[in-house]
Chain A
Amino acid sequence: MSSTESVFTANGVTCIVPAQGESRTIFENLGFAIAPGEIVDLVGPSGSGKSSLLTAFARLNPHATGSFTLNGHDSGEFTPQQWRHEVAYLPQKPILPGDTVADAIRLPFTLVIRAGASGLGDQNDATNAAAATTAATSADADSAHTASAPHRIGKVGLGRKFIALFRNNDQQARKLLTDQKIRMTLDAMGCEDIDLARPPHDLSGGQAARVSLARTLLTEPKVLLADEVDAGLDDENAEKVADIMATAAAKGMAIIRIRHRPPDGRASHIVTLANGTLSEKAGEQA
């Protein structure tokens, strides 16, 4: 895989965790790359560090270091929030806060990174909201959009934080992501069985996993890091989840899946992480 056609690359990824006073190296100096629209399955024995690798890719792992690029831009050019907006880690355990399923799905759009400054400040700027909607809905947004005008949202002033403490961006989020759009998306994903008005904790395990996946897919990342989202699901639900991801990949999303199930034929190739090394069976049809 050459890095020119890759949407995401990782180099020199090392993960060292402290264990009883000393440190344990999970993996060292790993390299990885993925092209748009590819699905790569990451397999390997339990405890080999698959989750650590994916959280490292999303810059969520405090024990990991490495250099990452997105569309040729170094991760240092992004704030952590901007990076995770594009390189989205989907945890194994679906966490769905909120009173209803719709609220849980809208959660990412209540965040400053998507609701924008107008959600934090006083003006409720319609043009700003419109711009954010365009940004959120354009699946084929090019690299220029990602890298241009990175206004650093991570650094908001203390005064603004105090204001933000007592307000939420629910209104803003409702504009960015209407109930109809959520409904349409869920239906298109084959999730007609999920009632948006229900409390999230009423969902079955399979439904919760699909809602969690739908929530991240609606944020339209360029790279999806799916951490064993089909674990604990029955075959029917696992199939649905795989279908949803295959559809997203067909639209250009790069997807890395951690899987313990037998190959389902959707991956472009399978990569194994064992004993701290990544072995790639490139070209092998899964």
Chain B
Amino acid sequence: MSGNAYDIDIWGLLVALAMVAIAAGISELMRINIGKTLLWSACRALLQLCAMGFIIGYVIRANNVFLVFAVIAVMLVAAVQITLSRAKGVPKGLAGPVLLSLTITMLLMISLVTELVVRPHPWYAPQLVVPLTGMLLGNTVSALAVGLSRFYESMNERRDEIDTLLALGSTAWEAARPSIVSSIRLGLLPTTATLASCGIVTIPGMMAGQVIAGGDPLEAAKYQFVVFAAIAALTLVADSLIMAMVYRTCFTADDQYKPPEMR
């Protein structure tokens, strides 16, 4: 832990907060009425990030495998809660499937990216595993929330079509398939867009961080690519898994369409 090449002192934080405060003040003058929310969110972000910094710092210093996985478990639970609160119009009781699909993708991430590609010592190296899990969860949470919302919305819109398909002898899976495909596509859209635009329009956060901290930009680029590729692939896996687990909630045991009020 050599720290950043250029550290930020307390005045730096105050300048950043002041910028938000000025922007908030202007928005109040313009009667956009977003100033309070903006300022409040900024303060929240500062606190949350500092807390995260302290916790990760502690976990790295402690270098204990159980502590690493305890932190990851907390992140997973929070991710489930955020996914479900962001997904609109989904039935109750999806916490289990969401947790399962996030856990599976998280384990795949750790075993493939960490142990196969980076191979750190010790194998559970906290400064690698915790941030990687965070980045993966950040992406899969929004993909799952968008995917789930879209899936149920589509199943409601396609009600007549689904009834027709079932009447023609389709399985529940066949009747749900168009909704599943469209929701996975929509959930993956931001991921593919990021992949295509990075390096031209944007310098991704992780790579920017390494460069600012004085790392070799090419090394940083390689790291970034591995992480992006893994996240893209695993987001697809997470979305497909969750769809396979939840599509049945729209059908009865006899493969009948279950309207929203019965789910």
On A, residues with C-beta under 8 Å from B are 18, 58-62, 80-82, 84-85, 88-91, 93, 95, 97, 107-108, 111-114, 153-154, 156, 158, 161-162, 164-165, 215-216, 219
Q: A62-B256, A62-B257, A80-B254 are in contact. Are A112 and B168 (CB under 8 A)?
A: no
Q: Are A85 and B160 in contact, CB atoms less than 8 angstroms apart?
A: no
Does any Cβ of A come within 8 Å of B139's Cβ? no
Distance in angstroms from A34 CB to nearest chain B CB is 18
- Docked CA distance A195–B262 (Å): 41
Q: Can you pick out 17 interface pairs between chain A and chain B where the beta carbons lie within 8 Å of each other? A: A58-B167, A59-B256, A62-B256, A80-B166, A81-B171, A84-B168, A84-B169, A88-B167, A90-B167, A91-B160, A108-B168, A111-B170, A112-B171, A113-B169, A113-B170, A162-B244, A164-B177
Distance in angstroms from A146 CB to nearest chain B CB is 13
Give every chain A residue within 8 A of B165 (Cβ-Cβ). 107, 111
Q: Are A61 and B256 in contact, CB atoms less than 8 angstroms apart?
A: yes
- Docked CA distance A219–B169 (Å): 10
Q: Are B256 and A95 in contact, CB atoms less than 8 angstroms apart?
A: no
Q: Are A158 and B168 in contact, CB atoms less than 8 angstroms apart?
A: no
Distance in angstroms from B254 CB to nearest chain A CB is 5
Give every chain B residue within 8 A of A60 (Cβ-Cβ). 163, 166-167, 256-257
Q: Are A156 and B169 in contact, CB atoms less than 8 angstroms apart?
A: no
Q: Are A89 and B170 in contact, CB atoms less than 8 angstroms apart?
A: no
Give every chain A residue within 8 A of B167 (Cβ-Cβ). 58, 60, 84, 88-91, 216
- Docked CA distance A113–B173 (Å): 12
Which residue in chain B gives the minimum CB-CB distance to A164? B173
Give every chain A residue within 8 A of B173 (Cβ-Cβ). 156, 161, 164
Which residue in chain A gives the minimum CB-CB distance to B178? A97
Contact of B255 among A80, A112, A216 (CB under 8 A): A80
Q: Are A111 and B168 in contact, CB atoms less than 8 angstroms apart?
A: yes
- Docked CA distance A114–B174 (Å): 13
Q: A60-B256, A80-B254, A162-B240 are in contact. Are A95 and B164 (CB under 8 A)?
A: yes
Which residue in chain A gives the minimum CB-CB distance to B173? A161
Q: Are B177 and A108 in contact, CB atoms less than 8 angstroms apart?
A: no
Give every chain A residue within 8 A of B180 (Cβ-Cβ). 165
Q: Are A85 and B169 in contact, CB atoms less than 8 angstroms apart?
A: yes
Distance in angstroms from B51 CB to nearest chain A CB is 40
Distance in angstroms from B175 CB to nearest chain A CB is 9
Which residue in chain B gives the minimum CB-CB distance to A161? B173
Give every chain B residue within 8 A of A93 (Cβ-Cβ). 160
From A18, A81, A88, name the one whose CB has the most chain B CB atoms within 10 angstroms.
A81
Which residue in chain B gives the minimum CB-CB distance to A112? B171
- Docked CA distance A61–B173 (Å): 18
Q: Are A81 and B255 in contact, CB atoms less than 8 angstroms apart?
A: yes
Q: Given known contacts A62-B257, A91-B167, A112-B171, what 15 new A-B pairs fall within 8 Å (CB)?
A: A58-B167, A60-B167, A62-B254, A80-B254, A80-B255, A84-B169, A85-B169, A91-B160, A95-B160, A107-B165, A111-B170, A158-B244, A164-B173, A216-B167, A219-B169
